[in-house]
Amino acid sequence: MNQLAAQHSRPKTVPRHAGRSWHVIPLAIAALILVPVVALAFQASNGSAGLWGHLIQYVLPQAMGDTLMVLAGVGVLVTVLGTGTAWLVTAYDFPGRKLLQWALLLPLAVPTYIIAYAYLDLLHPLGPVQGAIRAVFGLGSPRDFRLPDIRSMAGCILLLGFVLYPYVYMTARAMFLTQAANVLDVSRSLGTGRRALFWRVVVPMARPAIAVGVSLALMEALNDIGASQFLGVRTLTVSIYSTWLTRYDLAGASQIALVMLIFIIALVNLERHGRRQQRFTASVQRARLMVPRAVPGLAGWGLLALGLVPVLLGFVFPALHLAVQAYQRVALRGLSPRILAEAGNTVLLAAIACVVVLGCGLAIAYSARFSGRRTVALASRISVIGYALPGTVVAIGILIPVAGLDRFLGGMAEAMFGYSGGLLILGSGAALIYAYTTRFLAVSTGGIEAGLTRIAPSLDHAARSLGQSQGGAFRRIHLPLSRPALVAAALLVFVDCVKELPATLLLRPLNFETLSTHLYGEAVRGTYEEASVVALIIVAIGILPVIFLADRRADHARAQKA
């Protein structure tokens, strides 16, 4: 009777003793996530005091200025594109609307550095776009006509904005779909016009969701290194990379990375402060969902054309160019064995990282479900820190302790066996797996926690009453029922690992290339022969989560109709 009373005293969870064996694992994982941050702060504090003066006078002003300009421009552009397209496909019904709903997600499949690579070739003075314009007007030389150079701050902002707007599109559209039509009807009955309705009612109610989407887009813009460097913009991320690998100054790179970390914390707090009082509630059970307004004929086709502009610029044009270039390359010389080897390296690293990240995410999410300890809740919060950190910051924070551990292990091996064995951790790729885990653990943990919340707590109690142990309940109930969430998390983590460039550039073993590092090297050298094939492979892999998101939205739409 006492055990039964104890079970009912803690609703929505199983008895307290069931989680005692699980809380140590998430604490250990959280400690590993915090190690790079602590190591980064330690290395920066031990750097030369004179170096701080040099950085403040010569490096940080330009890097901070360029970073702020990029973030401001990208923030405005993704807000306009994401919110506008979300309202377009939610509030209006026009020809091709269903196609446009998922097509607007396609730019997510293309990493920012691939977009920059493709447009550098497309808009080159001797490239196809400017060549076609000169041919139309009968001009024979680039001296007669030349478009503005895309290697500029404006070019960087435009390219990043047209790739990252889907983050705002997804969050804003989800909010628009849940807004009750009766709220909008009341506003119209009070004399509010359609345009004023959008600005005075719709946008303020969706502001928290828009803020979340914009913050995600800005985090991705901060993490970018390839596009910014290709386009001649010296952001903080580019400064970290060049200071470390060009000047071989790890202390200076650590100090810039620490400044960037402080900048990110300030950005996150600013976003939370801006929307702390922007919360709206509505009765979803009794609310009447908004019905899109039919726009037939020529006006409807005009709306479709307007909605396709970001899709064409953010995905279709660069993807078609890469496909043409890749076809010409393969038709002329076949598929290079080097690309096949790099594809194998990429898949191997991403698969190993995917298993590790899923295992850690499952341990944290499962412990949070079964344990009422505050330490487990704290570990769950710490696990998401890495996703807000750019890959360069994570890489430097990992390099410092891992390099020290490699030296320690090498010294022990030298003393015991007379042979150091080289860089065991850095040379084996384990440090890169560590970086992937730190960066993308939040994706795994969040997805698995969302899947576990769909499992009724009564099933946990039923399993315990039938004599099942915690492990048995996990194998027979939670694992099968949470399989869709696990598959979704695995897909997202795998694709993120394939596309990740900064951490891969900085922590990969010597003479070890992946698809992303190959493309980066080709673009830096200005050679485009094999890079188009590599870029097309990465884009093809990146389309997988877009297909998954489209299927989820289709299922959601069918559920709403039912």
With respect to residue 404, please indicate whether it lies within any of the assigned structural domains: yes
CB 455 within 8 A of CB 435: no
Mean pLDDT of 108-117: 88
One-letter identity of residue 385: I
Long-range contacts of 320-329 (CB under 8 A, 24+ apart): 321/118, 321/121, 321/122, 321/128, 321/532, 322/114, 322/118, 322/532, 322/535, 322/536, 322/539, 323/536, 325/121, 325/528, 325/532, 325/533, 326/532, 326/533, 326/535, 326/536, 329/529, 329/530, 329/532, 329/533
CB 380 within 8 A of CB 445: yes
pLDDT one-digit tens code per residue, 287-305: 455 677 888 889 999 999 9
> Residue 18: is its pLDDT beyond 70?
no
| Cα–Cα nearest to 366, from 19, 8, 7, 11 | 19
> Residue 555: is its pLDDT beyond 60?
no
Mean pLDDT of 4-32: 58
pLDDT higher at 552 or 413: 413
Cα angle for residues 71, 73, 77 (degrees, 5° grid):
115
Rounded to 10 degrees, the C-alpha dihedral 493/538/399/240 comes to -120
Mean pLDDT of 339-363: 90
Total domains in the chain come to 1
With respect to residue 241, please indicate whether it lies within any of the assigned structural domains: no
Question: In sequence order, which residues have a C-beta less than 8 Å from that of residue 346 and are 6 or more positions away?
Answer: 498, 514, 515, 516
Q: Which of 155-159, 461-465, 539-543 has the lowest mean pLDDT?
A: 461-465
Using CA atoms, how far apart are residues 113 and 515, in angstroms rounded to an integer? 12
pLDDT band for 162, please (50, 70, 90 cuts): very high
pLDDT higher at 553 or 444: 444
Top mean pLDDT of 123-127, 197-201, 282-286, 497-501 is at: 497-501
With respect to residue 360, please indicate whether it lies within any of the assigned structural domains: yes
Mean pLDDT of 453-476: 67
> Residue 546: is its pLDDT beyond 70?
yes
Using CA atoms, how far apart are residues 148 and 145, in angstroms rounded to an integer? 10
pLDDT one-digit tens code per residue, 211-260: 878 888 888 888 888 888 888 898 888 888 888 766 667 777 788 888 88
pLDDT one-digit tens code per residue, 405-461: 888 887 787 778 777 666 778 888 899 999 999 999 888 887 777 776 766 666 666
> Residue 476: is its pLDDT beyond 60?
yes
Query: DSSP string of 424-492?
Result: HHHHHTHHHHHHHHHHHHHHHHHHHHHHHTTS-HHHHHHHHHTT--HHHHIIIIIHHHTHHHHHHHHHH
With respect to residue 35, please indicate whether it lies within any of the assigned structural domains: yes
With respect to residue 233, please indicate whether it lies within any of the assigned structural domains: no
pLDDT one-digit tens code per residue, 164-204: 999 899 888 877 776 655 556 555 555 555 666 666 667 77
Mean pLDDT of 327-345: 86
3-state secondary structure of 500: coil
Cα angle for residues 80, 82, 86 (degrees, 5° grid):
115
With respect to residue 228, please indicate whether it lies within any of the assigned structural domains: no
Place of tokens 């490096």: 59
Question: In sequence order, which residues have a C-beta less than 8 Å from that of residue 490 and are 6 or more positions away?
Answer: 354, 358, 444
Mean pLDDT of 268-288: 55
CB 102 within 8 A of CB 553: yes
Largest CA distance in the chain: 93
CATH code, domain with 23? 1.10.3720.10
pLDDT one-digit tens code per residue, 21-80: 556 888 888 888 888 888 888 877 776 555 667 777 777 888 889 999 999 999 999 999
> Residue 396: is its pLDDT beyond 70?
yes
| Cα–Cα nearest to 64, from 227, 245, 272, 240 | 240
Using CA atoms, how far apart are residues 254 and 333, in angstroms rounded to an integer? 43
**What pLDDT shows up at residue 460?**
66
Indicate if the alpha-carbon torsion angle 44, 48, 50, 55 is positive or negative: negative
DSSP-assigned letter for residue 527: -
Q: Give CA separation, 157 vs 66, 113, 152, 373, 513, in Å.
A: 11, 13, 9, 45, 29
Using CA atoms, how far apart are residues 322 and 534, in angstroms rounded to an integer? 9
With respect to residue 381, please indicate whether it lies within any of the assigned structural domains: yes
3-class secondary structure per residue, 105-137: CHHHHCCHHHHHHHHHHHCCCCCHHHHHHHHHC
> Residue 112: is its pLDDT beyond 70?
yes
Round the average pLDDT of the chain to a whole number and report it. Answer: 79
Question: In sequence order, which residues have a C-beta less than 8 Å from that of residue 508 and are 6 or more positions away?
Answer: 429, 432, 514, 517
Would you state the structure tokens that stand for residue 55, as one six-digit string?
Answer: 């950085």
The burial of 296, by beta-carbon neighbours within 10 Å (0-12 exposed, 13-18 middle, 19 or more buried), is given as: exposed
CB 255 within 8 A of CB 50: no
Top mean pLDDT of 79-83, 287-291, 336-340, 473-477 is at: 79-83
Domain that holds residue 350: 18-45+320-562
3-state secondary structure of 413: helix
Mean pLDDT of 498-510: 88
One-letter identity of residue 494: F
Mean pLDDT of 355-376: 81
**What pLDDT shows up at residue 467?**
67
DSSP-assigned letter for residue 181: H
DSSP-assigned letter for residue 512: -
With respect to residue 98, please indicate whether it lies within any of the assigned structural domains: no
DSSP-assigned letter for residue 410: H
Using CA atoms, how far apart are residues 303 and 358, in angstroms rounded to an integer? 42
Using CA atoms, how far apart are residues 155 and 77, in angstroms rounded to an integer? 12
CB 501 within 8 A of CB 392: no
